[in-house]
Amino acid sequence: MLVCAIRGRYERDNVGRQSVTVPNRNSFDQNYPNPFNPSTTFCFGLPTPQLVRLELYNILGQRIGTLANGAYEAGYHQIDWDGQLDGQPVASGVYLVRLDAGPFHATRKMMVVK
């Protein structure tokens, strides 16, 4: 089950079928859980199909990895991350994750604890 769905982003149509709502604006939720070990989930919403980049930065602002890079349909999406880059776990500490989706840009702070 999608964590994004758990947060109430599903609705019922007039016949009782469950459908995903499409947001009226871009959104980027705080990752869950945070702090995390060993994995976390990022949720974001897109009102229209868009190119999305989700990048990871260290506390010094240096890009250390890309978690997503590609086209996404309109709707709510989730990206699960296992705390690894190139097969190696990242060190404990504070990281920044940035979502770029069309003209929308947002950054969230997260913490890895081991």
pLDDT tens digits for range 53-91: 999 999 999 999 999 999 999 999 999 999 999 999 999
pLDDT given at position 22 = 85
The whole model's pTM is what? 0.82
CATH code (residue 83)? 2.60.40.1930
Is residue 1 situated within a structural domain? Answer: no
The answer to whether residue 90 sits within a structural domain is yes
14 located within any domain: no
Quick check: 2 pLDDT over 60?
A: no
Residue 17 reports pLDDT greater than 90: no
Domain for residue 89, yes or no?
A: yes
Question: Which is higher by pLDDT, 2 or 81?
Answer: 81
Contacts within 8 Å (CB) and 24+ apart, 55-62:
55/97, 55/98, 55/100, 56/85, 56/90, 56/95, 56/96, 56/97, 57/95, 57/96, 57/97, 57/98, 58/93, 58/95, 58/96, 59/93, 59/94, 59/95, 59/96, 61/96
Whole-number average pLDDT of the chain: 87
Q: Identify whether 7 is part of a domain.
A: no
